[in-house]
Structure 1
Amino acid sequence: MEDVQPGRLEGEALHCCAERDDRKNHAVLVMQKNQTLCFRGKCFLTCLYGRVEVMGFTIEEGQQSYPLFSPASHCPLIIRALESSDDTRDDKTEASSILRKYLSSASQKKLLKKVMSHSSIILLEPMETPLTRFLSSFTDLSELFSPPMSELMSAVLDTPLNGLGMVPLGSTIEGLKMSKSYRDALNAVVSACRGDMDGCAVILVCGTKNVGKSTFIRTLVNILLNHTTSVDYLEGDLGQTEFTPAGCLSLSTVREPLLGPPFTHQCTPEHMIYYGQSTCESDLDRYLETLKALWRRRSQSRETPVIINTMGWVRGFGFQLLVDMIRFFPVSHVVQLGHGGTTHCPPLTPEFLRTAHGCQTHPPAQTALDEFTESHTPPRSYTHLIVQSEFQGVGSQGTAKHQRSNEHRELSLLAYLSQLQPPDPGPVRPLHSLTPYQVPHTAVALGVIHCEVVPNHMFYAANASLVGLCCLGEKIASRGGPVLLSQAPICPCVGFGVLRGIDMVRGLYFLLTPVDPSVLRKVNCLLLGAISLPSSIITSQPGFEGEMPYVTTDYSFDLTGAGKLRVFKGLMRPSQMGM
């Protein structure tokens, strides 16, 4: 038997170790220890024999099928074959039985020759879901799961995998590159979570923009899920949220691996509060109070590891927010990502924090929320880990199509709205063809979070907009007309909807939302924020002739006052600072 070298599967090697069954439309791939497959596209992966790893998560035979998403908007996924944990297996006999279920006789014999000690066999199947169908219905996103222009020269074509919606990539494309400090930090945190800790591990991940915080967190979550059933996740990044549309702060329990970018695993967190903006610079106190409110909802007796995500704002007030967060929460580890040999802000060591000033805290300060100090003793110190990211393009925002941060936000929102599509295969139904809920004006309050709007203009602002579906603690008291809020409350949010019309004569809101009707009954507040619907939703409305609803070109941004007024509530006047 020929000697198989570890490395990237590409070109002729893929033809030798992969076979496709055209009748069943799937492919079987035999991989040797440490061989990798880097690809663009999407598929379902089932491990039939041995073990493979994707983004830190180990997939073994006998487990369920897992969806893999490798779109052009993010770093391509890599499937890596691992060494088998059983040295006593009769690899040929078992492999032959497995291959017989999925391939023709000729294909079986060809692949059986490739099976060796510690081989892994995986089944790859095409994937079409309401999410992928909905995204592909937009012209600008039709190539989302294809290689971007920069990778076309490295794309491996005409392999058994290409017809499944996968495009293998050559070794010139690195995929996720982990530096030594990156691996060391992952190992240190995982070891601490598996060891004997006094209470649960609380890991705060911070760093400037475009250093790979989200990818680091997804990898960490996946590795932890190899050893525990769930991981808690506190979202503190308003602009690049993991499980919700942008503008949300949330607390989630993660039970399934994250094998794709955020828009591929949108879900409803256990607790969520709609902040309404992709940045908190205009109201720092509300941001911190919202995070505190979420933390209070978590049972302090839980021993599940907690990961806290933060914004890429690490200078000025942004850095002070990080100082506050480390003091407010019982943090056991601070992972600080940087690049180029620096963290672009002072290292957040326990020693530094003893003299650092936050927005709400000043030294000396408590290290946990006041109400927890009696029943919960926070650690007096924490482990500080510095990670130097070394992937291509680190520190700069992607300039290719689908790679900018605003596009990522739109993808997450479109993914959320894809839940409105029927689960059965079929043509995509545009949003304006769906039947909305009719909600009486007197049943819910309407508020605007991000700016001040006079009552007479409230309905104009809310029409054809995204709204958070929220639950106020008190009953709505209507005097027969609409209820308008003068201040933005901090209250639970159960999901989102599109306010696609307002009937002033009958006093009705027309609302599209994927939220279950049993949950909608609890909603008594609609909150409008600065998170707008993707333009593709408005401009791609098939079936209309002439002027498109909600769209106008009769507007000039050159006029004085045409743009929005920016208010910074976190800035203090000289008189307030004692100057």
Structure 2
Amino acid sequence: LFPRSVFSDGLILPPLVEGSKSPVISSPTSGTVEKIAREMSEAEKKSPFIPEEWSDAASSVSCSSTSSLQPVVALVCGPKNSGKSTFSRNLVEVLLQRYKRVAYLDTDVGQPEFTPPGFLSLTVVDKSILDSDWTVPCVKTPERCFFYGDVSSKRDPKAYLRYIYTLFDYYQLYFCKSSENKTELPLVINTPGWVKGIGYDLLVDVLRYVSPSHVVKINISAYSKNLPAGLFWLDDGNDDETAHLIEIQSAYQDSFNRSVLIQKDARLLRDMRICAYFRQCIKSKEVNTIKELTQELASHIPYEVPVSSLTINHLHCQIPSSEVFYSLNASIVGLGISSDVFEDLPSCVGLGIVRGIDTERGILYVITPVAENVVEKVDLLLQGSIQLPTCLLEVKDYRSPYLSPNVLAST
């Protein structure tokens, strides 16, 4: 992604390890790229398996929404890889049979449904998403989203909760309260699979704040991995009659007909979503493989963004002023608009890749699929810890910084 022509006098080059002529980070093997491409192809061919129990649960939520005076708010929870995202998709499909649009609040920063990793978002869905391929989750524009900047809520639990609360408040203000100019929409809330320790406490806090009309809890046969039975988020003696708890089993069974976890490579899926997002930069050509995507991004014309026009926020760490350019180079950043705020939180309109920096002119070279008329409004750069997939740095005839072919990859 970093053509040699971009790097000249005054531009940042990768730092070297003392006593060595090689940069500090190893290059991935070609097998990584091949695996991603193979997974992409296989994912497009598979149809989700929806058991009868899941269909009944989704129908129960949908039917109750027509008899209630308030729009349904359904929160889906359960252990990691138990099928929460698949059930949430199916629930959206069922609700779309009764409503023209359905709101979707995604609180899973590691495996979000409609955005790249690192986002918390509120999206309004108006068409089928159940059978979409790997490109679809990243092309929808959320009604509101915030760049959390990490794939786990443990990095900053307070900020994580604040973003969720603000998104829910936004939903209530614009899509829930009755008004002649507003259409009430049902809401589906997808949650992460971290349900132990701090992850459990965060889930309880979210449940208490949103007070959902329905909670769908997915269980597996390994009871120790499941959430507690009953209305676990309520205080002792506090019986919330408005909450309907629906418990279902994971869709996948082992040879003994026991519910088991769905095995997924989380890091691989995150890389696929990031690749899918930045594939939107290439609109004039058809891109079908990682190799083609890498070549196209390497030759893609970047935006020139003056550093003087930006406020740079480092979300989860402090960077010395002398090292800011080094930290930004070859990184993924959130693009924010400080004037577009809700409850004092600026919106994030997308992601960008800082592909090079001219330190003499104070210019950042940024690649992003965000429309030019929106990029012109960006005045806030949000740097988290979302990493650029290393497969995108393997470009023939281009020299990417921070890579070396002569060292072993870490395990």
| TM-score of the aligned structures, taking structure 1 as reference length | 0.57
Give the Cα separation in 1 of the matches to 2:246 and 2:340: 44
Please give the secondary structure, in 1, of the residue aligned with 2:352: strand
Partner residue, 1:346: 228
Say what the alpha-carbon RMSD is for the aligned residues: 2.9
Give the Cα separation in 2 of the matches to 1:303 and 1:461: 44
Give the Cα separation in 2 of the matches to 1:557 and 1:389: 36
Q: 2:78 aligns with which of 199, 202, 207?
A: 207
Give the Cα separation in 1 of the matches to 2:36 and 2:201: 38
Structure 1: where are the runs of 5+ without partners? Answer: 1-137, 149-165, 170-174, 357-362, 368-378, 476-488, 564-579
8 Å CA contact retained: 2:252, 2:261: no
Partner residue, 1:182: 54
Partner residue, 2:381: 526
1:33-44 alignment to 2 at 5 Å?
A: none
Give the Cα separation in 2 of the matches to 1:443 and 1:387: 51
Give the Cα separation in 1 of the matches to 2:42 and 2:124: 32
Deviation at 1:345, TM superposition (A): 1.9
Deviation at 1:504, TM superposition (A): 0.7
Partner residue, 1:153: none
Deviation at 1:354, TM superposition (A): 3.5
Please give the secondary structure, in 2, of the residue aligned with 1:447: strand
1:250-399 alignment to 2 at 5 Å?
A: 250-258=121-129, 259-260=131-132, 263-266=135-138, 267-298=140-171, 299=174, 300-301=176-177, 302-340=183-221, 342=223, 344-349=226-231, 352-355=232-235, 381-392=242-253, 395-396=260-261, 398=263
Partner residue, 2:7: none
2:90 pairs with 1:219? yes
Partner residue, 1:413: 274
8 Å CA contact retained: 2:111, 2:117: yes
AA of the residue aligned to 2:124: T
8 Å CA contact retained: 1:334, 1:348: no
Deviation at 1:388, TM superposition (A): 0.8
Residues 293-323 of structure 1, C-alpha deviations (whole Å, 9 max, x = no match): 2122221324211001111011122111121
Please give the secondary structure, in 2, of the residue aligned with 1:143: helix
2:361 pairs with 1:506? yes
2:246 pairs with 1:246? no
| TM-score of the aligned structures, taking structure 2 as reference length | 0.79
Change (3 A) 1:353 1:513: closer
Q: 2:346 aligns with which of 491, 498, 522?
A: 491
Give the Cα separation in 1 of the matches to 2:233 and 2:137: 35
Change (3 A) 1:313 1:341: closer
Which segment drifts farther, 323-332 or 201-210?
Answer: 323-332
Please give the secondary structure, in 2, of the residue aligned with 1:265: helix
AA of the residue aligned to 1:182: W
More helix by share: 2
Give the Cα separation in 1 of the matches to 2:42 and 2:106: 30
Residues 365-413 of structure 1, C-alpha deviations (whole Å, 9 max, x = no match): xx9xxxxxxxxxxx86210000111414654452xxxx41111111111
Please give the secondary structure, in 2, of the residue aligned with 1:442: helix
Give the Cα separation in 2 of the matches to 1:279 and 1:261: 25
Deviation at 1:355, TM superposition (A): 1.7
Deviation at 1:474, TM superposition (A): 9.4
Partner residue, 1:453: 319
Residues 110-146 of structure 1, C-alpha deviations (whole Å, 9 max, x = no match): xxxxxxxxxxxxxxxxxxxxxxxxxxxx644443455
Deviation at 1:424, TM superposition (A): 4.6
Change (3 A) 1:498 1:340: same
Give the Cα separation in 2 of the matches to 1:276 and 1:355: 32
Q: Which has the larger radius of gyration?
A: 1
Partner residue, 2:38: 143
AA of the residue aligned to 2:350: G
Please give the secondary structure, in 2, of the residue aligned with 1:430: helix
1:84-233 alignment to 2 at 5 Å?
A: 139-144=34-39, 146=41, 176-193=48-65, 195-233=66-104
8 Å CA contact retained: 1:313, 1:319: yes
Deviation at 1:556, TM superposition (A): 9.0
Change (3 A) 1:142 1:345: closer
Partner residue, 1:442: 308
Residues 73-124 of structure 1, C-alpha deviations (whole Å, 9 max, x = no match): xxxxxxxxxxxxxxxxxxxxxxxxxxxxxxxxxxxxxxxxxxxxxxxxxxxx
Structure 2: where are the runs of 5+ without partners? Answer: 1-32, 178-182
Which segment drifts farther, 138-147 or 213-222?
Answer: 138-147
Give the Cα separation in 2 of the matches to 1:146 and 1:289: 37
AA of the residue aligned to 1:143: R
AA of the residue aligned to 2:302: P
8 Å CA contact retained: 1:178, 1:391: no
Change (3 A) 1:314 1:554: same
Give the Cα separation in 2 of the matches to 1:554 and 1:450: 31
Change (3 A) 1:504 1:322: same
Please give the secondary structure, in 2, of the residue aligned with 1:420: coil
Please give the secondary structure, in 2, of the residue aligned with 1:446: strand
8 Å CA contact retained: 2:208, 2:234: no
8 Å CA contact retained: 2:214, 2:246: yes
Q: 1:431 aligns with which of 294, 297, 300?
A: 297
AA of the residue aligned to 1:385: I
AA of the residue aligned to 1:344: N
Larger relative contact order (C-alpha < 8 A, sep ≥ 6)?
Answer: 2
Deviation at 1:177, TM superposition (A): 4.1
Residues 194-214 of structure 1, C-alpha deviations (whole Å, 9 max, x = no match): x22121100000000111000
Change (3 A) 1:297 1:354: closer
Residues 33-85 of structure 1, C-alpha deviations (whole Å, 9 max, x = no match): xxxxxxxxxxxxxxxxxxxxxxxxxxxxxxxxxxxxxxxxxxxxxxxxxxxxx
Change (3 A) 1:495 1:390: closer
Give the Cα separation in 2 of the matches to 1:208 and 1:497: 32
8 Å CA contact retained: 2:83, 2:262: no
Please give the secondary structure, in 2, of the residue aligned with 1:471: strand
Change (3 A) 1:345 1:450: same
Sequence identity percentage = 32
Deviation at 1:265, TM superposition (A): 2.8
Please give the secondary structure, in 1, of the residue aligned with 2:216: strand
Please give the secondary structure, in 2, of the residue aligned with 1:203: strand
AA of the residue aligned to 2:158: D
Residues 429-470 of structure 1, C-alpha deviations (whole Å, 9 max, x = no match): 521211111111110111221222222212111101111001
Please give the secondary structure, in 2, of the residue aligned with 1:530: coil
Which segment drifts farther, 238-247 or 547-556?
Answer: 547-556
Give the Cα separation in 2 of the matches to 1:262 and 1:312: 21
Residues 254-273 of structure 1, C-alpha deviations (whole Å, 9 max, x = no match): 11111235643312211110
8 Å CA contact retained: 2:331, 2:353: yes
